[in-house]
Amino acid sequence: MSVLHDLALGFQIALTWEAILICLGGVILGTFVGVLPGIGALAAISLCLPLTYYMLPVHGLILLSGIFYGAQYGSSTSSILLNIPGTPAAAATCLDGNPMARKGRAGQALFIVTLSSYFGGMVGIILLVAFAAPLARFALSFGAPEYFAVMLLGLVAASTASPGSPVKGLAMMVLGLIFGMVGTDVTSGAYRFTLGYLELTDGINLVAMAMGLFGIGEVLSNLAAPPAPQPPKKSFRLREMLPTRTEARQSVMPAIRGSLLGSWIGALPGTGPAIAAFIAYATEKRISRTPEKFGTGAVEGIAAPEAANNASVQAAFIPTLCIGIPGDAVMAFMLGAMIIHGIVPGPNLISEQPDMFWGLVASFWVGNLILVLLTLPMIGVWVKILNIPRQVLYPLIIFLICVGVFSVNSNVFDVFVAVAFGILGFVMTLFRYPVAPILLGYILGPLVEENFRRTLFISNGDFGAFLSSPVSVICLGLVALALIVPVVLAIRRRRLSPAPR
């Protein structure tokens, strides 16, 4: 029962008025930077760090983490309403969220993602409370072969995730893999495809690419197309935006699966919420009995990725707080913030600073609850964005994207990259090529390649290393199945009904 005792200690800290107000401020700010395309949590967190100098360390961390997970809630709003993800992690939510909005069901979509996000966040927190130490050890046991197998499985599973022609989807994924190769090779330090630009030696910036492909591309496509009929203006009362009973039922299992997948991926250092969301989406489409519904506004296609990315941001705290190893850039900054506040992160953080750890974890619960209470009444306000005339809305979006992309590295080069990808995204959409697989190939490709080469380097070229652990055997087995089964089925179908010559 010591967990309950510890949690009680945590809630004593998180339920003081001061902590609640700070948490509220953090999640509101997080929601806003999440909604605004391009401006991500990291920029907001680093801007707010100086504010926390005047707070208790635990309050400071409550504020900064509130911004981080609050941004996940906000980022799906612009995915659904504008087909522009607020952060790259919400790109998967565009695939079915925006079609729902186009059908006039934006309110329902926002309602479902808010509840799925809450559910995912809760699952992540519960795992953090109950299984933090074993999960952290499990994540550490992942070596290069396991990472390779899991990422390859993700790539293969997601290769057909986008709507429309599978061949076009695969082609776009390969394009993403090529973009992922730009930059410095981890193993040798050599440059690949940097075209002489210093700015490309660290690879193409993820935010610039995502905001270009989805954001600027979407704006250009909409400008080129004749104005879509505006959804009928009606009063946006909460009651009218409740999902139907069927929709609610359909989103339960995807939210559960998404949360579990997301927590697991989030606990692995070096992954992140974008990967979690895409893999959850792909999984739903794979196991769905009606995969053709995906891409046209399937509720499963928004519930799963949103549960996954929120679970993943909560689970990302597991390696950071339990073993002192940050999973991504935001977590690395959180570690820095802890040091500035005199808290030394590392494997002994929980035993040395129990009030800090449990106070923070309890605040996650408070923050997620605030986010739901805050977001549901806001849905009506957000949906009104659709009524803004596009000559006002689009310049505003482009402006925000440019500011957001610039804020990542304070570098104008990234803004040009975003514009270039915007044009690419526009052209691709024009010819009905899906853009999401480009992003996916770009994110997963380098992880697959890096871990493939590292495995072989470590094993001295012995391919048997890929089958050295149960996790990699299972994942590679699934990859083989995913590749072979459709071929076998196709051959059998052809034998049964020989094509007329």
Partner 1 sequence: MKSWKNALAVVLAVLPVTGIAADFPSKPVTLVVPYPPGGNVDTSARIIAPKMEAILGQPIVVENRAGAGGMIAAEYVKNSDADGYTLFMAANGPLLFAPMTMNRPDAYDWKTDFAPVGSVSITPMALTVRKDVGITDIDELLATAGEKNLLMASPGAGTTNHLAAEKLKADSGGDFRIVHYKGNAPAIASLIGGETAFSFDQMSVILPYIKDGAVVPLAVTSSERVPALPDVPTLKETGKFDFAAVTFTGLLAPAGTPQEAIDAISAALTETLNGDDVKKRFEDLGSLASPMTPAEFGAFLTEIDDTWRPIVAEVNANK
Q: Which residues bind partner 1 (CB under 8 A)?
A: 42, 45-46, 49-50, 53, 139-144, 184, 186-191, 198-199, 201-202, 269-270, 319, 323-327, 329, 331-336, 339-340, 342, 344-348, 409-411, 450, 454, 457-458, 460
Nearer to partner 1, 282 or 349 (CB): 349
Written in H, E and C, the secondary structure of 407-474 is: HHHCCHHHHHHHHHHHHHHHHHHHCCCCCHHHHHHHHHHHHHHHHHHHHHHHCCCCHHHHHCCHHHHH
Q: How far is CA 126 from CA 2, 3, 77, 132, 135, in A?
A: 15, 11, 25, 9, 12
Q: Strands 183-184 and 191-192, how do they pair? A: antiparallel
Minimum distance from CB of 85 to partner 1 (Å)? 21
Other beta carbons less than 10 A from residue 468's beta carbon: 15
In the complex, least distance from residue 446 CB atom to partner 1, rounded to whole angstroms = 9
* Least gap, CB of 91 to partner 1 (angstroms): 21
CB of 449 to partner 1, least distance (A): 12
Least CB distance to partner 1 at residue 13 (A): 22
146 vs 284 by CB, closer to partner 1: 146
Q: Which is nearer to partner 1, 187 or 244 (CB)?
A: 187
Least Å from the CB of residue 136 to partner 1:
10
Cα 500 from Cα 140, distance rounded (Å): 56
Q: Which is nearer to partner 1, 165 or 201 (CB)?
A: 201
Spell out the residues 6+ positions from residue 336 whose beta carbon is closer than 8 angstroms to its own: none
| 204/304 with CB nearer partner 1 | 204
Helix (H/G/I), strand (E/B), else coil: 191? strand
- SS3 label, residue 184: strand
| Dist CA 212 CA 205 (whole Å) | 11
Residue 326 beta carbon to partner 1: minimum distance, rounded to whole angstroms: 5
Whether the Cβ atoms of residue 59 and residue 22 lie closer than 8 Å to each other: yes
Q: Phi and psi at residue 176, in whole multiples of 5°? A: -60, -40
How far is residue 459's CA from residue 454's CA, in Å, rounded to a whole number? 8
**Can you read off the two tokens belonging to residue 410?**
């304070």
Specify the residue, 203 or 254, whose C-beta has the smaller distance to partner 1: 203
Residues 6+ apart with CB under 8 A from 367: 23, 26, 27, 62, 65, 66, 69, 70
The answer to whether residues 172 and 217 touch, using CB atoms and an 8 Å cutoff, is no
Which of 30, 71, 86, 100 lies closest to 397 in space, CA to CA? 86
Length of the chain equals 501
Nearer to partner 1, 202 or 292 (CB): 202
Q: Cβ of residue 414: shortest distance to partner 1, in angstroms?
A: 9
In the bound state with partner 1, the residue whose beta carbon lies nearer, of 97 and 326, is 326
* Whether 19 contacts 60, CB under 8 Å: no
Round to whole Å and give the CA distance between 231 and 109: 15
Question: Alpha-carbon distance 175 to 441, whole Å?
Answer: 7
* Distance of closest approach, residue 450 Cβ to partner 1, in angstroms: 7
Q: What minimum distance in Å lies between the beta carbon of 265 and partner 1? A: 15
Q: Measured from the CB atom, is 141 or 244 closer to partner 1? A: 141
Residue 305 amino acid letter: P
What is the C-alpha to C-alpha distance for residues 424 and 265, in angstroms, rounded to an integer?
30
Tell me how far, at minimum, the Cβ of 335 lies from partner 1, in Å.
6
Residue closer to partner 1, measured from CB, 307 or 325: 325
Q: Are 180 and 203 in contact (CB under 8 A)?
A: yes
Residue nearer to partner 1 on the CB measure, 137 or 494: 137
Q: Which helix (H) or strand (E) segment is 192 a member of?
A: strand 191-192
Nearer to partner 1, 26 or 163 (CB): 26
Nearest CA among 187, 191, 192, 270 for reference residue 456: 187
**Alpha helix positions (H), 237-299:** 245-267, 273-287
Q: Report the SS3 class of residue 483.
A: helix
What is the nearest approach in angstroms of partner 1 to the Cβ of residue 140? 4
